[in-house]
Amino acid sequence: MWFLGAGASASAGIPTAFNLIWDFKRTLYCSAQKVSINSCADLGSPVLRAKLQHYFDSTGHFPPENSDEEYSHYFKVAYPDEQDRRRYIDQLVASASPSYGHLALATLLRLDTARIMWTTNFDSTIEDATVKVFGGTSALVTATLDSAQLAMEAINEGRWPLLVKLHGDFRSRKLKNTPPELQAQDAKMRRALVEACKRFGLAVVGYSGRDRSIMDALEEAIDGGKGYPLGLFWFQRSDSPNLPRVVDLVSKATAKGIQAAMIHVETFDELLSDVLLLVKDIPADLTDMLDKHAPRVTDAPIPQTRGRWPVVRLNALPMLSYPTLSRRIVCNIGGFKEVREAVERAGVDVITSRRQAGVLAFGRDIDVRKAFVPHEITEFDVHAIEAHRLRYESAELGLMYSALSHALARERPLKAERVRGDLIRIDRDRSNEDIFKSLRSAIGELDGTVPKTNLQYAEAAWIKLEYRLGRLWLLIEPTIWVEPSLDDQLFAETREFVRKRLAGRFNQKWNEMIDAWMYIITNGEQQTEIKAFGIGDGVDAAFTISSITAFSWREGGHYS
């Protein structure tokens, strides 16, 4: 059986419980302080989160940060009426579509290597994935809070596949999202979960373990060691906190002789991709569906004449080549946090990522060994970076991001930042160099001090990698970097400064800025190669980037 939490729907475009909690906090804070929600737009900012948390802690009326009660408590306070909560959830799930992981899980259902799915999510991504894999929903039995008896009936009768939505779905009359509702979880649904866990093994992914009633049921299912006959496996991100209740559940199961473990993975999509590698004889139609994406645009010739073409100019530069190999190290080390700490202790310049197969790295071999020799290296070889793993959030994609930022900062007068994404900003000590001439012509001063503060700012650009149409693209989004501060007044001044500075950047100006950043990244060349290290005694990361951005074109009466 599989148990899916909110983290499993993140790649389908639905916010996780963590993100929703901060959205609730922002709503309540802005309402209480009578400030515009636009002044608190960047919830990814640790400065803003610290500011919001300080406010709620000072009231003494809210649960502490990361407590089990946070989600349900803030949801109820922000949206006291059930209709409002339902409307809020409707908006969240309206545009969701199945991710690679959902399609892979539906494939396991069709192959009968998975039979029951439990979820606390409201969205219909599992059902939508089942439609694509099975060709319809007739094969899927779905039990919600409105039809709780179906869960136990299907389990007893062996009617698979079965989907059980423990909190209902966005169409259900009952949406269990407040403390009293969570504590009074439907008895029939909870009993079905307990009984199923006594008969089958369970894999949990993307779930925080914050619902007391569900955790009570999972603990009851241990049944003195008789439960989970095929094991209990709790998958979570390496950088996620270990909630005491989850650790306690796994420890109790292990103490009773049950095979149970907490396993670090990067994402739901990556986990299911790895699982499918171990499945034999996947039908060709399913393989094609998982590995191929029907192109929605076609290649078009570059226009040779001046005029009103192209129809739409995009902010995506083609990656003509990118790293296909990295170093792989197998050693006795934990998750990404431990890997990062090992590199810091060694004082070496190495780019790393972590997946179950081992530590992935770029850099000099002598530096890589220096970082991980203390952790008893058992394998030291290379790892093939497969293109399909760049289509979703994976260890390889994260490694590629870090390497690209490192290469740009090494070969251009830029600084790399990791804020709520990957950002490159102008090196203020080198802002007068000729490479910035076109950007300065487009927008004026490139750096300086935010008025009424002592905080520095500089022109910057978000960078994003997207694998589409059989190739990798580098997306550029101009922005402004401001030196962070925890001071509320300084924070307000910088937000207003950035808002005003960005306000007049419409299409023509935006186009000029894209041209300027394209010139900076490619150094004015039609195509350019940049390297993260420029070494010959290890595994380097080299990228070849074209200066011609993607665009649309009219061909045969249709846009392509």
Q: How long, in residues, is the chain?
A: 560
**Domains and their CATH numbers in the chain:** 12-93 (no CATH), 100-276 (3.40.50), 316-546 (no CATH)
Cα–Cα distance measured from residue 363 to residue 378, given in angstroms and rounded to the nearest whole number: 19
- Please tell me the predicted confidence (pLDDT) of residue 551: 75
On the question of a cis peptide bond just before residue 241, with omega within 30 degrees of 0, the verdict is: no
Pairing of strands 351-355, 471-482: unpaired
Residue type, 124: S
Cα–Cα distance measured from residue 37 to residue 22, given in angstroms and rounded to the nearest whole number: 13
Residue 384 to residues 39, 221, 320, 323, 393, Cα–Cα distance (Å)? 44, 41, 18, 9, 17
Tokens 């939508």, located at residue = 128
Residue type, 542: A
List Cβ neighbours of 288 (8 Å cut-off, separation of 6 or more): none
322-373 residue pLDDT tens: 999 999 999 999 988 899 999 999 999 999 999 988 999 999 999 999 999 9
Q: Can you tell me whether residue 478 is helix, strand or coil?
A: strand
- Please tell me the predicted confidence (pLDDT) of residue 387: 87
171-217 residue pLDDT tens: 555 556 655 554 445 778 889 999 999 999 999 999 988 788 899 99
Supply 81's token pair: 């009426």
Q: Can you tell me whether residue 521 is helix, strand or coil?
A: helix
74-127 residue pLDDT tens: 999 999 987 888 788 888 777 678 888 999 999 999 999 999 999 988 888 999
Task: State which H helix or E strand residue 74 sits in.
Answer: helix 70-78
Residue 31 burial (C-beta neighbours within 10 Å; 0-12, 13-18, 19+): exposed
431-475 residue pLDDT tens: 999 999 999 999 999 999 999 999 999 999 999 999 887 889 999
Q: What is the mean pLDDT of the chain?
A: 87
Burial 387-410 (b: 16+ CB within 10 A, else e): eebbbbbbbbbbbbbbbbbbbbbe
CA contacts within 13 A on the Cβ side of 407 = 26
Supply 447's token pair: 């750096």
